[in-house]
Amino acid sequence: DFLILCIGRHSGTPNIPEFPANKGPELFKGKILHSIDYSYMDNVAEFVKGKSVTIIGSGKSAFDIAAEVAKVNGADQPCTMIYRTRHWLVDKSSIWGINLSYFYLNRISQLLVHKPGEGFLHYLLASALSPLRWAITKVIETYFKQRIPLEKHGMVPDYSYSFAMSSCLIALLPEGFYDRVDEGSIILKKSKKFSFCGNGIIMEDGNECIKSDIVILATGFRGDQKLRDIFTANWCRNIVVGSSDTSVPLYRYRLDNFFLVGIFGGQYILCYRIHFFFLRNCTTT
Ligand SMILES: Cc1cc2nc3c(=O)[nH]c(=O)nc-3n(C[C@H](O)[C@H](O)[C@H](O)COP(=O)(O)OP(=O)(O)OC[C@H]3O[C@@H](n4cnc5c(N)ncnc54)[C@H](O)[C@@H]3O)c2cc1C
Ligand SMILES: NC(=O)c1ccc[n+]([C@@H]2O[C@H](COP(=O)([O-])OP(=O)(O)OC[C@H]3O[C@@H](n4cnc5c(N)ncnc54)[C@H](OP(=O)(O)O)[C@@H]3O)[C@@H](O)[C@H]2O)c1
């Protein structure tokens, strides 16, 4: 009755940035790898030890890798993390022994978020409780801004914690990350664009060259492309991939509405509306 695609968003489709001619990886004399290759390595400590490592990106992978490299090389051989967007990476905080995430990463909090295709009751509930949602996320945002030295390091995201929460964009900050930045083991640099030169990375302004032995592209994945490529009709591709302002189109944005149940001979047979309770279990476990 159902075809469920569990093909992941993070396997087999590394996102490798494209570069204009004479500015790409072909110029670089060091090693370049994507974060997924790094994660498959057996002995990363040995690989990065004593090397100048530059990490591109500011997602969970970039933070994790920077923290790991900093642990191996310390301030003697700092690694550089080049980011273009600041994201909400927060730590495991608790108030009076209660894990803070319990306040917003729970099923009840999902009732406070509008969803395409929601029923009238859900619409009413989400609308009536939106001030509560705003208040909860504002308090948590303020709390994290005070607790984590984001401002000090110029890492306060440009979007609200509320948006991060409703788009499932929040990730866990590696332990002691900003201590490593303070001690000089990690250097954070903002640059909207980057390119390669013989001995490293050139930043957006073109003036600064970050000398590197190893460049790790923690630039994410093309999970959307993988899903899109499975289908041939454009309307179907758009349904599956969803809107571009969320990282989790299948969760909440699509599965709630339609479910593609079969493809035979290139024809899409049916889009079923899935039973409410099935969906709840399917999307939240
Ligand atoms: C480096 C890294 C670390 C992570 N660490 C965590 C973590 O600590 N905690 C966490 O919750 N999440 C983590 N994640 C996110 C993680 O990817 C997901 O939580 C989880 O793996 C998703 O599971 P999945 O089954 O949906 O997809 P996957 O684990 O990606 O599994 C997809 C499977 O489908 C197969 N497949 C793909 N395409 C096809 C096809 N066309 N035909 C047949 N088979 C196909 C793949 O080979 C793979 O076996 C991490 C991600 C990365 C990249
Ligand atoms: N331990 C864990 O739990 C763990 C570990 C690793 C990953 N994960 C999960 O795996 C998923 C993928 O994480 P990820 O960090 O690998 O990928 P990601 O979240 O997609 O982040 C990719 C990063 O690369 C940047 N980027 C992409 N293209 C770029 C370009 N051309 N130039 C400069 N920067 C570019 C993005 O910048 P913009 O933000 O500007 O787009 C973003 O900061 C996430 O869901 C994450 O939570 C979990």
pLDDT, tens digit, 9 for 90 and up, residues 114-154: 776 778 988 898 899 888 888 888 999 999 999 999 999 99
Asked, for residue 12, whether it belongs to a domain, the answer is: no
Same domain for 156 and 271, yes or no, is no
The protein residue whose alpha carbon is closest to atom 4 in ligand 2 is: 60
Residue 71 lies in a domain: yes
Read off the pLDDT of residues 73-101 as tens digits, 9 standing for 90 and up.
Answer: 999 999 999 999 999 999 988 878 888 87
Q: CB under 8 Å, gap of 24 or more: what pairs does 19-26 form?
A: 19/195, 19/196, 20/195, 23/195, 23/196, 23/202, 24/195, 24/196, 25/196, 25/215, 26/196
The answer on pLDDT for 276 being more than 60 is no
The answer to the question of residue 6 being in a domain is no
> Ligand 2: distance of its center to the CA of 87 in Å?
10
Q: Residue 78 sits in which domain range?
A: 25-90+148-217
Measured CA to CA, the distance from residue 158 to residue 37 in angstroms comes to 30
Contact 79, 55 (CB under 8 A): yes
Whole-structure pTM value: 0.86
Say yes or no: 230 and 138 in one domain. no
Residue finishing a domain among 193, 217, 241: 217
Domain boundary among 177, 196, 217: 217
Q: Does the beta carbon of 171 lie inside 6 Å of ligand 2?
A: yes
- Report the nearest-CA residue for atom 16 of ligand 2: 220
Greatest distance between any 2 Cα atoms in the chain: 61
How close is the Cα of 259 to the center of ligand 2, in Å? 27
Give the CA angle between residues 226, 82, 195 to the nearest 5°.
75
Q: Is the dihedral of CA 282, 231, 244, 91 positive or negative?
A: positive
Residue of 282, 279, 236, 244 whose CA lies nearest to 260:
236
Lowest average pLDDT, out of 7-21, 72-86, 194-208, 258-272, goes to 258-272
* Ligand 1 centroid – CA 7 distance (Å): 7
For residue 22, is pLDDT > 70?
yes
Q: Are 193 and 159 part of one and the same domain?
A: yes
Tell me the CATH number at 152.
3.50.50.60
Domain-located, residue 20: no
pLDDT, mean of residues 45-67: 97
The per-residue pLDDT for 283 is: 39
Ligand 1: which residue has its CA nearest to atom 34?
A: 7
Q: In the chain, pLDDT over 90 holds for what percent of residues?
A: 51
**Number of separate domains in the chain:** 3
More confident residue, 127 or 4: 127
Same domain, yes or no: 113 and 232: no
